[in-house]
Chain A
């Protein structure tokens, strides 16, 4: 693979893996949410994310040109080959923790896809145009819950603070750039993540202010997901997700 194609492949994997892993996490809620309405809305988010993952990973496979499609990439890679950010692989925890994760990720993702709508890569621009509408809704829904729980009861406020506290250390990683992505930015294909950080911070601050909650600085930001260095939970998530295709590699489902 030539260098620009490899960079694009890696970039699409990062975007696709983020959607896939978060979608997988959200499916764990199905049938177990606090109300039927919440159950349905979490399924909606998961469906959107799995749809995005399918489009992004299929395209990644085409760019790579080694005969891998979205399923091959989703079900036949090991944890160290996944390049999702650490935030999305975090366990669901309680509903507040799930919503804190969603809030951070969807606010970031909305800004990313909004920029990618004008990517010089037309296929990526097309995927982004579809995805941005979905994640805009996700961000609104998550922000509503952050406010509702932050400004609800004493217990919900305590849980919402704890939920947010779990994730501050993973926020910076979503905005980190490397040489390959910088090269893609030069070509007008990728988003300069650093350039959308300010808008992200403003959105977070505004929502938390409405919820009566405070923004916390991340003392020691964690990273490594983009290079395949993950937390303890990801391989377990993958073991469950990949069990059938790994056990029956010849099978078509």
Chain B
């Protein structure tokens, strides 16, 4: 997930295509239109490079920041099995972050630069992780709804035009599908349980439903970069199309769980063959994008602290490597 363009200044930071060599650009556009993969050493327009770097690094940041809300319940997981499942899941998110940073690095920006952009507030990450995890059912809700929304968004990206990103997506989608089933299983188990457990699940649904719908980004009529991204196969379906797909897939799952979707306007539209649903609070969404989500400050503080407090470890590892290299050189001499 987390691939929606969240940076309103993106267009201004990107050089226009009119500055590119027209022959190279035409050949590039033809390859992409033909569904060929673009590889790191291939020629690409600067706008494509920058858009992808932004999108992939935003995705990577989302995975890393996304470890925090789930990690919040790791020490309190209510059984050893659930603790191991959650730990493995959060570890998967870290793994996703790692190979997404690697994929983005093939476009010429280092991991350190990307992390610096995150910590300085220049880079965005998914708004969903700026919401708090308040009870154990939130862990199930994140797996079911948040990873579910992520899958909706990412499955088409397995055929995205940039080779390293597409290949990363294939692996990520497999793991996300697994997480989604585990999240749903957690909630099913709780719905078979005590009244208190059922109340936790409904409470989690009440809090995560709308932010999950917001994960697909602004409505299409307010998503200026979509057309070019779709042409370049960086994006394959629009925000609203994906959001509708998600609602249609998720509402029956909520019914099966036996919980209520917190939207009085939600109803099946026979004529459209889709669910109609209520208006999203876009003011809340844009506030979250600006970094004003409920626990946005806490998330960034935790990430910066981890990075700053780990600086001496990274420096020590580098120093040790340098000493080892010098020893090898002198031994060889």
Contact = CB atoms under 8 A, between A and B. Distances in A.
B190 interface: yes
A207 interface: no
Interface in B85-109: 87-88, 90-91, 94-95, 97-98, 101
Contacts of A74: 80
A156 B313 contact: yes
Contacts of A251: 78, 193-194, 196-197
Central interface residue in A30, A53, A151, A251, by most chain B CB within 10 Å: A30
Interface string B74-85: 111111111110
Interface stretch (A2-10, A44-52, A77-85): A44-52
A12 to B, nearest CB: 15
A133 B83 CA distance: 22
A35 interface: yes
A161 to B, nearest CB: 13
B80 to A, nearest CB: 5
B136 A95 contact: no
Given A32-B302, A240-B76, A51 B90 contact: no
Contacts of A27: 74-75, 83, 87
A34 interface: yes
A47 B313 contact: no
Contacts of B194: 248, 250-251
A54 B52 CA distance: 44
Contacts of B78: 75, 244-245, 248, 251, 253
Contacts of B190: 253
B314 interface: yes
Contacts of B94: 31, 36, 39-40, 43
Interface string B45-79: 00000000000000000001001100100111111
Given A50-B87, A74-B80, A148-B320, A30 B74 contact: yes
Interface string A38-70: 111001101100110110010000000000001
A24 interface: yes
B189 A50 contact: no
A243 interface: yes
Contacts of B80: 20, 50, 53-54, 57, 70-71, 74
Contacts of A32: 71, 302, 305-306
Given A40-B98, A245-B78, A252-B193, A47 B316 contact: no
B282 to A, nearest CB: 30
Contacts of A94: 309
B312 A156 contact: yes
Nearest to A240: B75
A252 B95 CA distance: 30
A241 B76 contact: yes
Contact of A35 (B71, B192, B310): B310
A159 B312 contact: yes
Contacts of A47: 84, 87-88, 91
Contact of B316 (A31, A33, A70, A155): A155
Contacts of B193: 251-253
Interface string B288-328: 00000000000000100111011111111101100100000
B81 A30 contact: no
B71 A153 contact: no
Nearest to A211: B320
A35 B97 CA distance: 11
Interface residues of A, number: 49
A253 B139 CA distance: 12
B74 to A, nearest CB: 5
Contacts of B192: 252
Given A24-B75, A252-B193, A33 B306 contact: yes
Contacts of B316: 148-149, 152-153, 155-156
A155 B312 contact: yes
A114 B158 CA distance: 45
B97 A36 contact: yes
Interface in B157-195: 186, 189-190, 192-194
A47 B74 CA distance: 12
A30 B312 contact: no
A155 B310 CA distance: 12
A34 B307 CA distance: 6
B136 A31 contact: no
A248 B197 contact: yes
A198 interface: no
Interface of B: 64, 67-68, 71, 74-84, 87-88, 90-91, 94-95, 97-98, 101, 136, 186, 189-190, 192-194, 196-197, 302, 305-307, 309-317, 319-320, 323
Given A31-B302, A252-B189, 19 more contacts: A20-B80, A27-B83, A30-B90, A32-B71, A32-B306, A43-B87, A47-B91, A75-B79, A148-B317, A151-B320, A152-B317, A152-B319, A155-B312, A155-B315, A155-B316, A156-B313, A156-B319, A244-B136, A248-B196
7 contacts: A31-B68, A33-B306, A43-B87, A47-B88, A50-B83, A155-B312, A253-B136
The 5 closest A-B pairs by CB, nearest first: A34-B310, A152-B316, A156-B316, A244-B78, A34-B313
